[in-house]
Structure 1
Amino acid sequence: MTVIGFLSVAPVVENSMASEVAKAVDALEDFDVAYETTPMGTTIEAEDIGELFAAAQAAHEAVDGDRVSTLLKIDDKRTTTAGAEEKVASVERELGREPSGDAT
């Protein structure tokens, strides 16, 4: 089984969140998960839903602040072991190319 999650952890602050977000990402290192950080959040991949939840909780708790906003979206692939890279590759195959993100 492969569980893929999209995690966004952000303190409610007026200035840059980078140092606090870095704490959340660093907390993932203590878990058996693969992850990729993007400008809008972090994709996490685990073999077990419990490990994904534990990693997300640790990331949330690593952020200091009076108020922290956390979003966790889960894709629990119960009948296959295909991971995040395979999902992206499927879209690329349909396009016949890598997505460019270029609107021109």
Structure 2
Amino acid sequence: MTVVALLSVAPVREGSMADEVAKAVAALDDFAVEYETNPMGTVIETDDIGELFAAVQAAHQAVDGDRVSTVLKIDDKRTKTQTAREKVTAVERVLGHEARSDR
């Protein structure tokens, strides 16, 4: 996989957004992408930038609301294949421990 992206989609409103965020994440299941959701967004991996954009569009459209905020950050590494996990492992190798606190 050569394309790694960070996606955040949410309605602009007060209160819990979990139900709408879940709709956006569920929309990704219809595409040839791997993903992992964390508290700040969803990391997506795919071999095809077009597939990424199609998945992002579906996730954005899955959220109900008068106003929807979508943020997308893309790392399109064209000369080397590197998964999201491998990127984290490289940082952990330099740190000498997992990239998380023990708190």
When normalised by structure 2's length, the TM-score is 0.95
Q: Secondary structure, in 3 states, of the residue corresponding to 1:43?
A: strand
Q: Secondary structure, in 3 states, of the residue corresponding to 1:73?
A: strand
Q: Deviations over 1:4-43 (max 9, x none)?
A: 0000001011121000000000000000000000001000
Deviation at 1:100, TM superposition (A): 2.5
Deviation at 1:102, TM superposition (A): 4.7
**Structure 2 unmatched runs, 5+:** none
Number of residue pairs matched by the alignment? 103
Give me the whole-angstrom Cα distance separating, in 2, the residues matched to 1:99 and 1:3.
22
Look up the match of 1:58.
58
**Structure 1 unmatched runs, 5+:** none
Give me the whole-angstrom Cα distance separating, in 2, the residues matched to 1:32 and 1:51.
7
Look up the match of 1:34.
34
Aligned amino acid, residue 66 of structure 1 = D
Deviation at 1:96, TM superposition (A): 1.2
Look up the match of 1:94.
94
Look up the match of 2:11.
11
When normalised by structure 1's length, the TM-score is 0.94
- Aligned-residue sequence identity (percent) comes to 72
Alignment of 1:44-83 (within 5 A): 44-83=44-83
Give me the whole-angstrom Cα distance separating, in 2, the residues matched to 1:100 and 1:35.
20
Superposition RMSD in Å: 1.2
Give me the whole-angstrom Cα distance separating, in 2, the residues matched to 1:45 and 1:37.
12
